[in-house]
Structure 1
Amino acid sequence: MSITHIIKNLSENNWNNQKNDYSQLQSKNPRINLVTNPAELRANDIVDWGNCGKEFDFLPTPLSVKSTNGLSLKLSSLGTFLRLTEGSGIKGNFTSGDELLFLEFADSAITIDFATPIFGIGTQIQRAFFGAFTGIIEAFDRSGKSLGKFSVSGKSNSSTPFIGVVSETANISRITLYVPENGGYGFTINGLSIVTQLEQPTLPSNLFLFNKNRSVSTTFNIFQYNN
């Protein structure tokens, strides 16, 4: 077996063993964190509101949608959902052309239920009226127990903060999104970024050093290789 295959197999086995041990240790009390940078969420799936209807379409509540990879979600609210597009039906602070979901003129939360529990989710959020606002996200497990509640600050005429959560295990079955200062005007979110599986870390490029004869000259506490 080549040294490349040995390294690959050891890396994969080590990762799988660590992941299993880690999941067992954290299953009773998994940690959940706030994420305010979409790059840090490392999402592997999305929900594009452009697939739910044309701009200015009113959408039913509850609203059933599927992610790009086929995950089923159900959105519900006491208000009415309206499909908008940044720069057209709305001139907010989202990226131009973003397909948006607007909770129209309602003092209510958006509740999102997942058919299969996920590791994490995030979106950008903006109050539907000018001024400072607070975006709130709360995550729940399958039994309805709150896993954590977090908030971010924004200003409707200058920012659309990203608000998300990520858990150590795939235990997020529901989230709620809310803007307490919306004053009945509602709020808007862009597409959902979703984490349905952990990302396997890559092997550092400097983990092994080779000499001209292609024998291992240095290892970093992984294994010893002798000629």
Structure 2
Amino acid sequence: MTSIFLVGPMGSGKSTVGRALARKIGYRFIDSDREIEARCGVDIPTIFDYEGEAGFRDREARIINELTMLPGLVLATGGGAVLREENRQHLMSRGYVILLQVDIKEQLRRVGFDANRPLLQTADPEARLRSLMEEREPIYKSVADAEISTDSRRMYHVVSRILRHLKKYDINLAASSVNEEPIERPASVSEPLRYTKAK
């Protein structure tokens, strides 16, 4: 069974679409950001506050390495997950990568004033989103097997387009038994957040 990995900017709908897609094909759904929060016991802004972005990216890389090895998974990754080469290699070599695209205006409407987005805690969220997109869009495209726009589209239509694409390219989506057991969490990943203020 080919796992499906969703990449793209914040606000592109990776979690919403991923959850619906997983239900449709009988796969497990995991959001890497939510998994990090569950294992640390705190939210992402707190991790950024105490460990900085570099500390968060270290945790993210360990999680992505672990999760991309699982079969029958729809994985929604964080917007910056593609920044590290090791993450890109794991995503490209272990599953089928779909880029969810969204324009800046729609992105701003969805997440521009979300207090849980540390990178957007600035006086000009729109300018920050544009800067992030300029930096990251070529990287997203470099890892993606397919690109799907979520602008002004109902979630149902986005999922349908993904399914048509997967069928067209004969991606193996053999029905799986949904495993409700929690993922085994190695000590290196499940350790609680250490409150060492990042310098």
TM-score over 0.5 for the pair: no
TM-score bracket, normalised by the shorter chain, equals under 0.3
- TM normalised by structure 2 equals 0.24
Greater strand share, structure number: 1
Q: Which has the higher contact order (CA 8 A, sep 6+)?
A: 2
